[in-house]
Amino acid sequence: MHELKYKPSTRRWHAYRKGSYACPLHSGDLLALEVADRYLSCRMVYDTDWYVLIGETKFRLHRKAVYRVILLF
């Protein structure tokens, strides 16, 4: 399990595992995002801002939030 955090200096989201840096995320990366007590498969997308695509639904990521994810790549 990883935490997804936005880093303003790079203008992208980064994954951390147990507080240690893991990797940057790129548009097209697959992951499972925790929503309530479930993990939903989604794809990271960058257009004018970052969002995840869950099926056909866009979910905009809030830069000050931290998300729990499972990396699928």
Contact 3, 16 (CB under 8 A): yes
pLDDT digits (tens, 9 = 90+) for 37-71: 999 999 999 999 999 999 999 999 999 999 999 99
**Predicted structure pTM score:** 0.91
pLDDT-derived band at 30 (thresholds 50, 70, 90) equals very high
Position 15 scores a pLDDT of 98
Class of domain 2-71: mainly beta
C-alpha atoms less than 13 angstroms from C-alpha of 23 in its C-beta half-sphere: 10
Position 5 scores a pLDDT of 98
Position 61 scores a pLDDT of 94
Q: Where are the domains of the chain?
A: 2-71
**For the chain, percent helix, then strand, then coil, each to nearest 5?**
0, 65, 35
Position 62 scores a pLDDT of 95
